[in-house]
Each structure stands twice: as structure tokens, then as C-alpha cells.
Structure 1
Amino acid sequence: MQELPENGQSRRRFMGAAALAGVAGATGLGTAVMSRESFAAAAGDARQKYMVEPGELDEYYGFWSGGHSGEVRVLGVPSMRELMRIPVFNVDSASGWGITNESKDVLGHDNTYLNGDAHHPHVSMTDGRYDGKYLFINDKANSRVARIRLDIMKCDRITTVPNVQAIHGLRLQKVPKTNYVFCNAEFVVPHPNDGSEFSMEKSFTMFNAIDAETMEVAFQVIVDGNLDNTDADYTGKYVVSTCYNSEKALDLAGTMRNDRDWAVVFNIERIEQAVKNGNFKTLGDSKVPVVDGRHGSELTRYIPVPKNPHGLNTSPDGKYFIAAGKLSPTCTVIAIDRLDDLFDGKLKDERDVVIAEPELGLGPLHTTYDGRGNAYTTLFIDSQVCKWNIADAIRHYNGEDVNYIRQKLDVHYQPGHNHASLTESRDADGKWLVVLSKFSKDRFLPVGPLHPENDQLIDISGEEMKLVHDGPTYAEPHDCILVRRDQIKTRKIYERDDPIFASAREQAKKDGITLEADNKVIRDGKKVRVYMTSIAPQYGLMEFKVKQGDEVTVYVTNLDTIEDVTHGFCMVNHGVSMEISPMQTASVTFVADKPGVQWYYCNWFCHALHMEMRGRMLVEKA
């Protein structure tokens, strides 16, 4: 980075400060931008808080989307240590995800899509508090939503949303519990999308609700414009989504034509009643109820907000939806307690629910909260986080001469999402803030043209934000969520009746096999099923024989009952590998197309004699 010799500041810092000065001058408000010296002193003090000593446990689980990798990553916070990677929309040779039969039961046995673009991880709730049961994540690339069981940290269901393309914004119903997963389809398409129509004018998109338990799509709502991010209130009644392309334009200039786009409010109670009354249609082969929520509908309201809005976040006190302007330096504060009057026709204008519109800086994208009345908004263009007070912003909107901006902190660089500890729940505790920056540039050792992104940890427990940690990360993680560690209850070993290997248990029953006891080969024409147990450091079958061309399914049941004694099964030169944790059964199917001796071995270290844990598949030539 080139330094400016006259004052030692970086060019980026200088430009950011100039931009801030322009915003401050326009609003008549002061800003607090920390100097390099004060940043260093503050960071040194805060660093003592985030240091987690060897053998000590983190206070929070952090669940990060894996971005273009299609996975979910589990980190400890505040240490920022990576604990686990949960494959979801990707193929993972370590665990066998996308290879084993159990994972294909979730992904689909045709393995149509080998990619994913995971954006928004969110944890299920009961009465507005994280209950640690499920984590949900979207796949923008292939219009899917996945559910992860947090007791075993494995994906157990994936749903493809019909009639739409590119599931992006995703949030959960907060009360009375997470009955619905709400998600937006970003791009408009014609219906039917069969090549008979291509115009943008005759295309539309939909807001979608998925039943959190069955993972079936419960209903869809047609809207005007497109959809971006979304969030739900603390009554179970309202959900709001941003629209950045109210123009329904294809060209870039066209999408920026309107000074205001809108935030769409969905009345969930009315939508449910419409579906119950049969006031819906279906599209194509899908049986999902589709209701009309375009302008004039009793199911929705359209609140004009500036400009190309992006983030939409609910305050933890349940009072406000806040939409970030992206192409406006403002955020729009929407009073949730005015929405009933808006739907009942008691307000003259949709803008009557707007109670503040603070000017924060250039490129506001996402807002999070500390539970003490302060909001934290990322400023993409300024490469900063702006801390501001909601109550003071409302007072300023009402004409009082008050400064609502508390502090601006440089982050590195171009931040997108940010997330404070417990902030999506009633329990927001205002301890830590994670900022997910899109670029790292000079922050880490160079690794070639493709750079990592940068996740930064900020201490927000005091009056000043203090940046304490840089963390390089790969493939645009996009978003994260922080959950207190006592809110997640993980299993140490599998239960034998776990539904994740129900299909293996069902097949074993048909074959007269007891998974925990039998080591046996079942021949069924050209199909061969091999059942074996494993207990460190050996398999129950050291050798089995098949014929060339047989379809072989190997079932391995791990009989070890001690946590952390995971076994693997890898068939050499066959593209086959899988993980089998304590008391788990896993299976994999492949064709024995190579005659001769084919070795298999345990590829997860399990014992001092781990290298000796292996066996042979003997393939007779056809």
C-alpha cells in the first residue's frame, strides 16, 4: 500500500476520511474516526479479552456460510479458531458427503449439482431465543435451502424451491418458534419459463415460506420488483424484504433509475388465511400454493425507501426493521408497531411507518445491534463500521439537533455483512462484532492473484469499538451467526436409532442383518452388499470377494463408544471414502470394475495401530 509522505496515512485511509468528511458536512454531524495510535492502544487492551488460552473453551459458536464452497464453517468466538466444516451443497472427500448413500439421500442420488453458493446461516428459535436445534442455509446458485441438525452438525434435509431462481435472503420465524423459514428468490422469471416468453415486464419473483420441520414449501407470494434480504418480527406476524430493482430493469443504469425502491411487508397471518380459504393458484407441476402479493393486495404493503436497499435487520427489542440504502448514505428505520395501522388503512401513506432515516456514510449494507440501543452498519464504500444510536436518530428525524453517530471504525476492506453476538435474538449481549470484509489486499501474506477475504473481530463491550483480530478466509463466506455455547447441545456419539442412517438399517433388516453384530456378504445377482463392523484398530471383515462389474455397497458400523474415535473407509483407486463416527453406520455404493486385489483402509486416524487397519476386496475377472 502506498503511503502519503506528508502524514503517514494510507491512501485508502485518506480517501475514506475525505468521504466521511463530505458526509459529515452534508448532515451537520460529527464523526469519530480512530487514529492509528488510538487504534493500536485500544486493540492491545481488547486483545486480552479475545485470547482463549490452550485448553479453554470459547464462549460462542460461530456458524459461517462457506460462500462459493457450498459448506458451513464452525468457528469458536472470540478465538476465531476453525472447529469444523459442515459440507452441505458441496462434495467432501473427508466425510464422504456427496459420496455416501446417506448423503445422497439428502442431496439426491442423481447428484445433479456439484456446486453451491451458501449465503445466510440462521439458527432456529423458540420465543425469540436460539434453541440450538437446527441451522438453515441457502444455496443461491441452485435455488435450494438446507437444514443442519446441530446435535450432530450434519445436514439432514435439502429443499429445492420451485417456480423461482436464486434463493438469496433467508431468515427464520422467531416466535412462538421457528415454524417457517422465510426466503427470497432474487431474480424475476416468466411463467411458464419454457422459452415462450423472455420479457422482464412479464417476469416476476416470489417470497417463499418453508415448513421448518417437514422442509416442504408451505406457500409462495408473487411480488412486484425483485427481492433481496429479509427479516421477521417478534410477534410472528410480519416479515419485511428489500427490493433493489423496483424498475425490473436488466441494464445496470435501469436498476438505478428510481430514487426510491421499497421494502415489502408480508402479513403472515393474512397469507395463511388466504391459503386456508383456497385463494391461491399453483404453477406448472408444483402443488405449492401461490398467492398474489403485488401492489393493491391485502397481503402486502410496499414502503418506499432509498435507494437500491440491501440489508434488512430487526432490532432485538422487536421495535424496528432497519433497511440499508446501499446507493443512499442512509438507513430507513421502520416502526413495527405502526404496521397494523398500515394494513388496516389508518395511515395515509406507506412512508408514515418510517420514523428515522439517518445518514451514516457511503454504501450502507447491513446493520446489527448490541442490545443497548445502538446499531452498527457496514459502509462498503468507506470501508468502515458506523456505530449509531437509534433513539437519537429518531429524535433527529423529528427535528432535534442531536448527533446520533457514536463512532466510525476503519475495517479492511469493503465490508458486507456484520454480526454481533446473539443479535438476531432477544438476548443480544453487545460483546463481539464480526465484520466480513470482501477484500484483504495487504493484510496477509500474498498467495497469488486470488486473495482471501478478511473476517475481523471487534470488541463492542465498551463505548468504543476496538478491532482486535484479522482472519483470512476463503470463497466469500458472506455471513455468520454467533450463538452462546450453552445454547448448542451436541452428541458425543450417535444413537443407534438416529434417522440419518435409517435407510441402512432398513436394508439390513431386509437382509436379516444386525448392524452392530454381523459381518457378512449378501449376494443379490449383480448387486453385493457387504456388512462389516469396525472397532479400533480393525474391521470385522478383512477380506471379501466379488465379481468384476458387481455393484458393491459397503456398510460399516463403528462399534467404538468413546468420543473422538472416528473410523474411515477408503477403497483405493475407486473414488470412495467416508467417515464413520462412534456408533454410526455409513454406506457407499460403487462398481467393482477392476479385477484383482483392491485394498481398503481406515483413512481417519483412530489408534496406534491405525496403519494396520485395512483389508482386501478380491475381484474375480468377468
Structure 2
Amino acid sequence: MSDDKSKNDADAVKGTGLNRRGFLGVSALTGAVLAGGTALGSAVFTRESWAAAAKDAQSKIHVAPGELDQYYGFWSGGHQGEVRIMGIPSMRELLRIPVFNVDSATGWGLTNESKRVLGDSARFKNGDCHHPHLSMTDGKYDGKYLFINDKANSRVARIRLDIMKCDKMLTVPNVQAIHGLRLQKVPHTKYVYANAEFIIPHPNDGSTFDLQDKNSYTMFNVIDAEKMEMAFQVIVDGNLDNTDADYTGKYAASTCYNSEKATDLAGMMRNERDWVVVFNIPRIEAAIKAGKFITVGEAKSPVVDGRKKDGKDSEFTRYIPVPKNPHGINMSPDGKYFIAAGKLSPTCTIIATAKLDDLFNDKLKDPRDVVVGEPELGLGPLHTTYDGRGNAYTTLFIDSQIVKWDIEEAIRAYTGEKVNYIKQKLDVQYQPGHNHASLTETRDADGQWLVVLCKFSKDRFLPTGPLHPENDQLIDISGDEMKLVHDGPAFAEPHDCVLARRDQIRTKKIWDRDDAFFAETVALAAKDGIKLESDNKVIHDGKKVRVYMTSMAPVYGINEFTVKQGDEVTVTITNIDKVEDVTHGFVMTNHGASMEISPQQTSSITFIADQPGLHWYYCSWFCHALHMEMVGRMLVEKA
């Protein structure tokens, strides 16, 4: 948007007798009137123009009763440790998938099945999700998996999209703080690329705390997406922030904001430039196949050294200088460019993927020769997304804006041509971090919707005390101008999201009885001679009691069983209902035990019966008109 246009906007707001933020805070029609630059650009606001803006906005985002949203949105749950599913464009929350957190509604972190997925990391009760990403085949979403990181405890988890449950989890060895995460796009998602942000000594045993030592470093981590095991790791200079992958399967690239290996703020900003490090995946694979790798610590994963040595490049990496403290890096949907956001520079750096082969083959004298553009966009650029029509959309954290700009025109401007590559700037509220346009990470980028995740929401919603919600905003980018059409409060730092068309996600309506998710529980029952779909039986095995029962609305197969004080009790329930959406629950009062059992699912939970007396259990998911009567009793005899 031109400076003259911005001035007109400001004058228009001034004419209403409100300050700019006050104007944006008018509640009755705010979300609609913000249908953007066009309404704000009017010289005079009339009742008719407000009504027209409201109608236009509602027509874009209203999803009528009985109708379905066009897109699934998968939101990071931030330090809630979960993934949230949203409908787009309605912005309605559909479901929460617990991953790194404990969830009493589903029993995640409590049931035996979920504890098997969590493995050794079940001891952690917290998580810090940042980057959810969907698996791909040939650069398009294939509907199989969603992957999500846990920065707090250095984990990566996989969610099966057919059941919307986490089925695998990996603690990444040798590193701390898994942050940036992206997936190999072609030929399919063979690898998950995950950055470890923080530099640590190796071994990290307290013998030294000197980060300048050559044995202090972090690593780029590559995970086998199907096995959810480490494929390999790459030692790097500096630290690692965000990452992305190209459309050939050959290259991944990551930003570094702490090339200094510093431990304080001033030190991390000392260098005039930091870098983007590019990884040559086939070269790394070839070296590992030839046995040219080491291992670090007790981990068995292959490790190669991607650091420069005596000023010479490693065969596995190249370091491209960019303005200091870069943050986001995003691959354009045509596969031509990695674009790194400057954060402390008002610029983004455009890196041409077509030049990377020459860079790795030492045909370019200067790694900056792969840079084909460095447009000045505004203050605090963090992340860039795309509409598939040649336009990029970058968040400006300090300016509280989204800037829309033409990539090819920015490249022409870099060569000295006079061209206005900035097409529009739109105010958002406030301090945007990640943004994400529909299908932007794939070849299918369709330029319909853009979600911007704002870190602050002051004055946008009803006051909630010192802790405010954040603000997710929905922007219509289908036309020539961005139009802000929806505000939505969000809790606990959602951070990032990803959008897929609804036809790309295919979920089961009821569980398959042979599903791998509870296969181990089924196998354990078979050892006891139990047919889970029909048997209701209590087995006393010393101090261990195994209770097998069915559930069918509105009754459990067993409504009373007896144990001794101190017994370890495992309750295994199979929901034999075959009707979609008839979910049952199991809660044992005063024992911290609860779980969900959806149609045809088997779930189990183990607890200690440490309190003598009568203890009721009940169904916690409303399943029937006689739901309240769906109860039973555990009788605990004194030891």
C-alpha cells in the first residue's frame, strides 16, 4: 500500500473522532469493518459503508449450520503441548489432540496405550509445541501424518490423521530444544528435518561449560518419518533456528541467529551478519552409506560434521551470509526460492535454489552469489507465506503489519530496476509471528486464506485479567487486496499453524478392531484368553488384578468387582458400539484414573487401589439418555 494510501487511511480514521486503536476496538462491527484496506481507505464512513463491509465479511467466513468448512487448520498448542484442529474459514475449534500434555478427557498420559507412545518421556508433564506440518507426496499433502515438535523436552511426535491420535514419539539424542521443523516434500516425506536450537558441550556432563570450545555445538537432526527413528545428525557452526526443504528432495536450509556461540543478548547480536546453512541431503546419505560417520555419546545415530574447518567448507553444508539474526525461512511453492526473514534487518533474503548446485560444486566464489534479492519490507520481518500467484506475505513484528510483495519484482529491484514490489501493508493486532496461507507449503498453494498469529491482543477482547489471550486473525487474500475478516482469541502461544483442504484429510468414523494403536493391549488380553469384544472377566494374579469389560450404551459389562487394598488394577474396556460418535468414558473416582473409549476402540488404564472401601466408576462421555446410570463399583477390601 502506498504512503499516500496509508495517509488517507489515517485521515479517514481521524475524521471519525476516534484514535486509530480506538476505532479498531469498536466492537459491534469491528471484525467486519476490518474487511480491510478498502473500507479504511474511504474518505467518509457512513452507516451504509459499515453495513456493506459487515455483510461482505460475513459472506466470506460464515459457515451455515449443517455445512462444512473448506479447510482443516492444524494449530500448534504452544506450551499447552497439544495440537488444535480448526475449521477454516469459520475459525471454529473442532478438536484438541493431546500430544506432550496430560489430558483427562481422553486419558492421554494416563492410559497404558498413551504411555507406550510417550515411552521414557512420559515422566515429562509439559511440552512446548511450535511447528505442525503435514506429510506430503510429490509436494502435495497426502493426509497420512502431522508432525509436531516439543522445544521444552527435545521431542518430535507424529499424529495419525485417520484417527487424530499421536502414535509415535521420539526424544532426539545429543541435543537440546527442538525448534524449527519441516518435512521432506518430494518424492514423499521420507524425512523430518528438525533443528536443535541451543549449543551444548559434548559430552554434556558438567566437565565444561565453555560454548566456545570445539566440542560445544548443536546439530541438524533428520528423522525417518515412518520408523520415527533417527536417520542422521549434522554438526553445525553456530546455532539453528527455523528450517525448510526444497522441492527436489536434495536441499534443506536453516537460519542461524547465534553465529557467535554467545550466551547473552549483546553477544548474540555482535556479528554484522549471521547465515543460512544449506544441507546437501544426498551427500550426507552417501557418506553414511559408506560408513563415513561418527556417533556421539551413547546414541547410535550416525553423525557427520558440517562445520567449516580451517576456513574450508564441509562437503555437506554451505553457509550463506545474511543480515544479522535471521528468523523464519520459507520455500516458495514454485520451488525457486528459500526466503529468510531478517528480524533485526528490515529485509528478507531471497536465495535461488537453482544456484545451489553450483555453490556446492564450488563454481561460485562467494556464497552470497546465490542471493538474488533482498527487499526492504518493514520493521521486524519474521515469517513469509505465499499465495501461489507470485506474491509473498511477510509478518512485520514491530510494525504490527502483514506486507504483501511481488517476489519477481523484488528480484528485479535488486538489480537496480525501479519497481514498486510492495503491493499492500495491512495492520494486524498486534505483533504478528507466524503466518500461513492455504496450502502454501505445497505445490497447490491456492491463495484463498491467510492466518496470522498475533502475540498480543490487548483491547481486542473482553478483559481476562493480567494474562491475555493471543489473537489469531483470518485474512482473505483471494483478491488484489488483503481483507481482515475475523479475530479469534487463542490461549497459550499457538505459535504456528498449517492449512489443508478438507478432501485431503480422510478420517475414520469408528475404529478398526485390528488397529495398531491398541494392538499391544489386545495381545496382552489374548495371553489371558480374553476375547475383548465379548468377555467380561476379572483375573486375580497375586497383587495384580486385570479387569476386562465391554461397554455398550448405557452399561458396562461388569458393574462390580472386588480387589485388595494395595492391588495394582488394570481396567481394559472395549467399546462394542458400532454407531458413529457414541464415545464412552471410564472414571474411577478418587484414583486419578480417566479415559475415553470411542466406538470399537480398546483402552486400558492402570492404578493402585490404595484406599479401602467402595469406589464408584462412571462413564464420563454423555452417550445415552441413561448415561447417568452407566456406573459400577470397585470394592476394595482392607489388606
Q: Give the shorter-chain TM-score range.
A: over 0.9
Runs (4 or more) in structure 1 with deviation over 3 Å come to 3-14, 32-44
In 2, Cα distance between the equivalents of 1:420 and 1:83? Answer: 20
Q: Is 2:491 aligned against 1:474? A: yes
Percent identity (aligned): 76
Partner of 1:507: 524
Q: Which residue of 1 aligns with 2:439?
A: 422
Post-superposition offset of 1:594: 1.1
The answer to whether structure 1 residue 103 and structure 2 residue 114 are counterparts is yes
Corresponding residue for residue 333 of structure 2? 316
- Paired with 1:621 and 1:283, the residues of 2 have a C-alpha distance of 52
Indicate the residue corresponding to 2:301 in structure 1: 288
Q: Distance in 2 between matches of 1:599 and 1:182?
A: 48
Task: Describe the SS at the equivalent of 2:235.
Answer: strand
Contact 2:218 2:239 in 1 (8 A): yes
Match runs of 1:460-539 below 5 Å: 460-539=477-556
Verify: 1:390 aligned to 2:407, yes or no: yes
Which residue pairs with 2:292 in the alignment? 279
Residue type matched to 1:83 in 2?
L
Does structure 1 residue 190 correspond to structure 2 residue 201? yes
How far does the alpha carbon of each residue in 1:264-295 deviate from its partner, in whole angstroms, 9 at most, with x for none?
00000001011111111111110011100012
Distance 2:88 2:190 in 1: 28
1:449-468 equivalences under 5 Å are: 449-468=466-485
8 Å Cα contact 1:433-1:460 kept in structure 2:
yes
Q: Residue 437 of structure 1 aligns with which residue?
A: 454
| Candidates 236, 251, 255, aligned match of 1:242 | 255
Q: What is the aligned counterpart of 1:124 among 128, 135, 139? A: 135
Alignment of 1:541-560 (within 5 A): 541-560=558-577
Q: CA deviation at 1:36?
A: 3.3
**Contact kept in structure 2, 1:173 and 1:236, CA below 8 Å:** yes
Contact 2:244 2:329 in 1 (8 A): yes
How far is the alpha carbon of 1:108 from its aligned partner?
Answer: 2.4
| Aligned-partner SS, 1:528 | strand
The Cα of 1:245 is off from its aligned counterpart by: 0.8
- Distance (Å, rounded) in 1 between the aligned partners of 2:374 and 2:239: 23
The residue that corresponds to 1:328 in the other structure is 345
3-state SS in 1 of match to 2:606: strand
Corresponding position: 1:36 with 2:40? yes
Q: Deviations over 1:13-54 (max 9, x none)?
A: 99xxxxxxxxxxxxxxxxx97673559665652431111011
Match of 2:105 among 86, 94, 101: 94
- In 1, the alpha carbon distance for the partners of 2:460 and 2:173 equals 42
**Secondary structure in structure 1 of the residue aligned to 2:434:** strand
Q: How far did residue 453 of structure 1 move?
A: 0.2
Show CA shifts across 1:446-467 (max 9, x none). 0000000000000000000000
Residue 599 of structure 1: aligned partner: 616
Q: Which moved more, 1:244-253 or 1:174-183?
A: 244-253
What residue in structure 2 maps to residue 25 of structure 1? none
Superposed displacement of residue 307, structure 1: 1.9
- Per-residue CA deviations over 1:217-256 (Å, capped at 9, x if unaligned) read 1100000000000000000000000001111111111111
The answer on whether the counterparts of 2:39 and 2:53 sit within 8 Å (CA) in structure 1 is no
- Could you tell me how far apart the structure 2 residues matched to 1:276 and 1:109 are? 30
1:49-60 aligned at under 5 Å gives the runs 49-60=60-71
AA of the residue aligned to 1:170: L
Secondary structure of the residue aligned to 1:611 is helix
Deviates more, 1:34-43 or 1:64-73: 34-43
1:349 to 341, 361, 366: 366
AA of the residue aligned to 1:247: E
Measured in 2, the distance between the counterparts of 1:286 and 1:345 equals: 33
User: Structure 1 residues 346, 432: CA separation in 2 closer, same or farther (over 3 Å shift)?
Assistant: same
CA–CA distance in structure 1, aligned partners of residues 379 and 104 of structure 2: 43
Distance in 2 separating the partners of 1:516 and 1:196 = 56
Of residues 275-284 and 71-80 in structure 1, the stretch that sits farther from structure 2 once superposed is 275-284
Matched, 1:45 2:56: yes
Q: Does 1:214 align with 2:227?
A: yes
Deviations 1:468-498 (A, max 9, x none): 0000000000000000000001000000010
Distance 2:490 2:621 in 1: 25
Residue 72 of structure 1 is matched in structure 2 by 83
Distance 1:603 1:35 in 2: 49
- Checking the alignment, whether the CA contact within 8 Å between 1:539 and 1:613 is kept in structure 2 is yes
Change (3 A) 1:126 1:329: same
1:172 is aligned to 183
Note the C-alpha offset of 1:527.
0.3
- TM-score normalised to the size of structure 1? 0.95
Q: How many residues align?
A: 603
Distance 1:619 1:230 in 2: 55
**Alignment partner of 2:518: what SS?**
helix
Which whole-Å CA distance do the structure 2 matches of 1:451 and 1:513 have between them? 51
Instruction: Note the C-alpha offset of 1:12.
Output: 6.3
2:266 counterpart letter in structure 1:
A
Paired letter, 2:262: A
- Give TM-score, length-normalised by structure 2: 0.92
Give the secondary structure class of the aligned counterpart of 2:357: helix
Residue identity opposite 1:410 in structure 2? D
Are the equivalent residues in 2 in contact too, given 1:34–1:408 (CA < 8 A)?
Answer: no
- CA gap of 1:143–1:292, structure 2 versus 1, over 3 A, is same
The separation in 2 between residues aligned to 1:442 and 1:491, in whole angstroms, is 41
Tell me by how many angstroms 1:367 deviates. 0.1
Q: CA deviation at 1:318?
A: 0.5
Task: Flag structure 2 segments of 5+ consecutive residues without an equivalent.
Answer: 1-10, 24-35, 43-48
Residue 270 of structure 1 is matched in structure 2 by 283
Superposed CA RMSD:
1.7
**DSSP-derived class of the 2:263 partner:** coil
The code of the aligned residue for 1:146 comes to A
Counterpart AA for 1:461? S
Question: Is the CA contact (8 Å cut-off) linking 1:46 and 1:459 kept in structure 2?
Answer: no
Unaligned runs of 5+ in 1: 15-31
SS at match of 2:510: coil
Distance in 1 of aligned mates of 2:92 and 2:122: 32
Deviates more, 1:578-587 or 1:595-604: 595-604
Q: Contact 1:571 / 1:577 at 8 angstroms: preserved in 2? A: yes
1:223 matched residue in structure 2:
236
In 1, Cα distance between equivalents of 2:262 and 2:612: 59
Which residue of the partner structure matches residue 23 of structure 1? none
Equivalent pair of 2:14/2:20 in contact (CA under 8 Å): no
- 1:8 deviates by 4.6
Q: Secondary structure at the match of 1:111?
A: helix
Per-residue CA deviation, residues 127-149 of structure 1 (Å, 9 max, x unaligned), is 00000100000000000000000
* Distance (whole Å) between structure 2 residues aligned to residue 606 and residue 372 of structure 1: 48
For residue 9 of structure 1, report the CA deviation from its aligned partner. Answer: 5.8
Q: Deviations over 1:48-78 (max 9, x none)?
A: 1111011100000000000010000000000
Match of 2:599 in 1: 582
Describe the SS at the equivalent of 1:503: helix
